[in-house]
Structure 1
Amino acid sequence: MSIHDEKDLIGILRTGKFVAKVRDLLVASAKPGMSTKELDQIAREEFEKEGALSAPKFDYQFPGYTCISVNHEVAHGIPSDETILQEGDLVNVDVSAKLDGYYADTGISFTIGKSKPILENLCRAAKQSTMEAIGQARTGNYLRNLGKMMHRSAKENGFTVIKNLAGHGTGRKLHEEPQVLVYEDKKDNRKLSNGLVLAIESFVSTGSEFAYEAEDGWTLVTADKSYVAQYEHTVIVCKDKAIIATL
């Protein structure tokens, strides 16, 4: 969607603030010995308290309030009583909500306690990759420049990207056009319009460039068990500098 009036702006910013709050709460709450289902229940309480809907549950009947992926899981991990967090784990939480008719989407990968340097570097690289793309989210700029910056940033840090996952438009639905690729499609000549709402996310990988659906029908994994870190913000495209709704 695109922002057309103050009501739209307030709606996106309010939903963005909510999902950012839940994201940060889950990061702060994740501890060794906790199951990912327990972590998801913390999110559930926040959704119910705010009167918000879990976007993946509402739009796609996902079996959890948030997606929580651990170690070699790339994305869309199902919260489970059997998945127990351990010191050093790589964890991704992806939080998206519908609140008063407006959607916002955010995610972050982080490590539990002290972890392998490569995993900590991977998380930093994913954040850097996304933030550099957000720096390109200006009115009139080419959409492909966002992917160009994400891919370039990942490579400069010694990593690559998962090319069959992408960011997306959002706002009235969880997933809208356009796709925001994590690499440059030089044939794409679309330009960013003022007020366009995008969920910009990187998927930075230690090796593989493609993810596959696991047997549970939801979780995404790589064939070679590469580690992958994601970092995502919902932003509003503006003339000089994007507004980040999910800081």
Structure 2
Amino acid sequence: MTIQAPDELAGLQRAGALVAGILATMRDHACAGTAPRDLDAMASDLLREAGARSAPALTYGFPAATCISVNRVVAHGIPDGTPLRDGDLVNIDVSAELDGFYADTGASFVVGTASAAQQRLLDATREARDAAIAQLRAGELLSGIGRTVEAVAARRGFRVIRDLQSHGVGRALHEAPGSIPGYYDRRDTRRLHDGMVITVEPFLATHSTRTETLDDGWSLVCPKGVGAQFEHTVVVTHGAPIIVT
């Protein structure tokens, strides 16, 4: 999507505020003993009360309102009834459609107290997202996102999961400009333009650069080690980008 009018930006911001608020509420309730399925039910209720719809369920028939991934599962986890435990590494991804606008956000965290190694992974992934967003400017190469993420990952001693990428969003969950690698691809000559709406969502991992799909057909796991993700929906401008989530 390309924002072309103030009311479009306002609509996108409303959708962004909704998914950001739901993510924060879910995280606040994600304590030891709570089942991901119960967190997802909470999100489903909040979406319904707001007149919104789950974007993955609407777009792809995902069997839950949100994606909740635990430990080895790094993305697209189906919320189940297994209680969370202290020390679990969790990712929650919330995306929704509200009044024709789609916004997408996500975050990783540890239930209870993170170990030093877990905290390093979380800090590096959040840094990669924030650094990539900070350098967004209309006219610059889209590949600057991957260049920045890859540089942070290398400096921090982690790997980029290459098959999980950022994407266009706004009037659909996934749209133009298509997939945006979290690694540097010198062949990618696409450029950012004013009003472009994209996600910035690096996935960093301790050992893996690719994921494998579990038998449920959705859950993506790191073959070795664990991974983390942080995501915002962002509007590109000629100046500082606008974060709507």
**Structure 2 CA distance for aligned equivalents of residues 189 and 60 of structure 1:** 29
- Cα drift, residue 177 of structure 1: 2.2
Quote the Cα distance in structure 2 between the aligned partners of 1:133 and 1:177: 19
Counterpart residue type for residue 115 of structure 2: K
Identity in percent: 43
Query: In the alignment, what sits opposite 2:129?
Result: 130
Counterpart residue number, 1:11 = 11
- The CA deviation at 1:48 is 1.1
Match for residue 169 of structure 1?
A: 168
**Does the alignment pair 1:146 with 2:145?**
yes
Aligned to 2:230: 231
CA distance in 2, matches of 1:121, 1:46: 32
Question: What value does the CA root-mean-square deviation take over the aligned residues?
Answer: 0.8
| Alpha-carbon offset, residue 115 of structure 1 | 2.5
Residue correspondences, number: 244
- Determine if the alignment matches structure 1 residue 108 to structure 2 residue 112: no
- Consecutive unaligned residues in structure 1, runs of 5 or more: none
| Displacement after TM superposition at 1:154 (Å) | 1.2
Letter in 2 for 1:174: L
Q: Matches of 1:95 and 1:174 in 2, distance apart?
A: 11
| Other structure's SS at 2:231 match | strand
Question: TM-score scaled by structure 1?
Answer: 0.97
Structure 2 gap ranges (5+): none
Read off the aligned partner of 1:171 and give its amino acid letter.
G
* Partner AA of 1:3 in structure 2: I
Partner of 1:23: helix, strand, or coil?
helix
Matches within 5 A, 1:1-247: 1-81=1-81, 83-178=82-177, 179-224=179-224, 226-246=225-245
TM-score by length of 2: 0.98
Whole-Å separation in 2 of the counterparts to 1:27 and 1:124: 17
Q: Name the CA distance, whole Å, in 1 between partners of 2:114 and 2:244.
A: 30
Which amino acid in structure 2 is aligned with residue 159 of structure 1? F
Give the residue type in structure 2 aligned to 1:227. Answer: V
Aligned-pair CA distance for 1:11: 0.9
What CA deviation, in whole Å up to 9, does each residue of 1:152-205 have, x standing for no partner? Answer: 111111111101110100001000122221001001111101000001101010
